[in-house]
């Protein structure tokens, strides 16, 4: 029995045949199992002789099956390796990839440009109170400039009786910075702002970046240098032409509006050049000015010691100018095809 079992195991052609042999010899009804059962009926003397023999037979058979199994598995693996192959030169299947929205891209660029000239980034809440958005910026309850902001007000006052609104500009961050950190200050504040207005050039939510410098002996020359440096870096060209126009904001005095020359070739893409060139037009990009001393007072600083300048600019408009896009609303449609086209690989 033993030689027969071992040869047949040795020659089992595959895993299924080997399993059949295991059942034939070692299964419940198997021949070796049958022999083991006879031990119980033997006399003690007989059992002492047969016991070790049968146990040895069972162990040898079990080992032989395990050994054959290992050989068969090895052979199977070899066979698979020989037939299957991986082509490492095949291009990987394309995974969907995101891109950075042009508005986010521009805000990142602005933060970088201003970081180089010593500005840090400040933030404030989008749900703002009336005092920070208007009053402290020298716009009293009755100030006509309030009407120009098309403000989204909340229907009820908050628990402290404050009138809440969606901030109409990033200028309240000026107040928060002065109140919270005191002077000196050199910050920009990018973020979302809201006005009840919607057409091809206005969206009810848009983005601004505020700038604020508060220090001793700050004057208009610092403002002009800062804006020129920023716009040249942003548009990546030295021949940017700026035009500073006297203007009015309640929170700056004097106030200056800044225009850049831009192309009229229909792309809204900025090409620079003199504003007197035919085919060019001035485009307003910035509101700015020296911080009104009343605002410095409202924020709790002494205007005789601290002066400064502030500016505010529309990020979406800057993105439009730099990357060319007719309809401002396309920036906020959330159309993935548009974002893929105008976005940037991170
Ligand atoms: N907050 C102004 C606006 O939204 C822009 C501005 C900011 C003007 C800072 C002057 C100084 O139009």
Instruction: Please compute, for residue 20, the number of CA atoms within 13 A of its CA located in the half-sphere on the CB side.
Output: 8
Q: How far are the Cα atoms of 29, 36, 62, 177 from residue 40, in angstroms, in the given order?
A: 16, 8, 22, 96
Mean pLDDT, range 39-59, rounded to an integer: 89
Q: Ligand 1: which atom is nearest the Cα of residue 212?
A: 9
Cα-Cα-Cα-Cα dihedral sign, residues 229, 231, 232, 233: positive
| Tens digits of residue pLDDT in 127-155 | 999 999 999 999 988 888 787 778 999 99
- Ligand 1: residue of 145, 147, 169, 313 to mutate (most ligand atoms within 8 A of CB) is 169
**319 within 8 A of 106, measured Cβ to Cβ:** yes
Atom 4 of ligand 1, nearest CA residue: 169
Q: How many Å separate Cα 309 from the centre of its chain?
A: 32
**337 pLDDT above the threshold of 90:** no
**168 pLDDT above the threshold of 80:** yes
| Tens digits of residue pLDDT in 73-98 | 999 899 888 888 888 888 888 887 77
**298 within 8 A of 269, measured Cβ to Cβ:** no
Mean residue pLDDT across the chain: 88
β-sheet bridge partners, residue 313: 209, 286
**275 pLDDT above the threshold of 50:** no
| pTM reported for the whole predicted model | 0.70
Atom 2 of ligand 1, nearest CA residue: 312
Q: Is 78 known to sit in a ligand binding site?
A: no
Distance CA 320, CA 267 (A): 9
- For residue 262, give the H/E element and its range: strand 252-263
Q: Which residues line ligand 1 (CB under 6 A)?
A: 169, 171, 249, 252, 287-289, 310-312
**306 within 8 A of 273, measured Cβ to Cβ:** no
Atom 8 of ligand 1, nearest CA residue: 287
């Amino acid at each position: 029995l033993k030689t027969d079992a071992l040869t047949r195991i040795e020659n089992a052609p595959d895993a299924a045949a080997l399993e059949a042999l295991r059942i034939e010899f070692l299964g419940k009804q198997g021949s070796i199992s049958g022999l083991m059962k006879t031990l119980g009926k033997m006399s003690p003397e007989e059992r002492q002789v047969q016991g070790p023999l049968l146990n040895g037979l069972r162990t040898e058979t079990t080992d032989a099956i395990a050994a054959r199994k290992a050989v068969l598995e090895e052979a199977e693996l070899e066979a698979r390796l020989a037939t299957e192959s991986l082509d490492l030169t095949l291009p990987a299947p394309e995974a969907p990839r995101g891109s950075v929205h042009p508005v986010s891209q521009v805000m990142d660029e602005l933060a970088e440009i201003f970081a180089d000239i010593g500005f840090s980034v400040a933030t404030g809440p989008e749900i703002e109170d009336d005092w920070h958005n208007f009053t402290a910026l020298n716009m009293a309850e009755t100030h006509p400039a309030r009407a120009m902001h098309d403000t989204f007000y909340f229907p009820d006052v908050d628990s402290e009786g404050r009138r809440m609104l969606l901030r109409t500009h990033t200028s309240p961050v000026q107040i928060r910075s002065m109140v919270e950190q005191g002077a000196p200050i050199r910050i920009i504040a990018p973020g979302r702002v809201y006005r009840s207005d919607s057409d091809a050039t206005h969206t009810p939510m848009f983005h601004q970046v505020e700038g604020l410098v508060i220090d001793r002996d700050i004057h208009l020359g610092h403002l002009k240098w800062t804006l020129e440096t920023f716009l040249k870096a942003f548009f990546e060209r030295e021949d940017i032409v700026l035009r500073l126009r006297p203007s009015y904001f309640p929170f700056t005095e004097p106030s200056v509006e800044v225009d850049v020359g831009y192309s009229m070739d229909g792309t809204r893409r900025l090409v620079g050049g003199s504003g007197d060139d035919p085919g060019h037009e001035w485009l307003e990009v910035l509101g700015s000015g020296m911080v009104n001393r009343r605002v410095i007072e409202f924020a709790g600083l002494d205007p005789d010691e601290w002066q400064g300048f502030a500016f505010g600019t529309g990020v979406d408009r800057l993105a439009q100018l730099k990357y060319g896009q007719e309809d401002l609303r396309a920036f906020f449609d959330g159309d993935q095809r548009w974002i893929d086209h105008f976005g940037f690989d991170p």
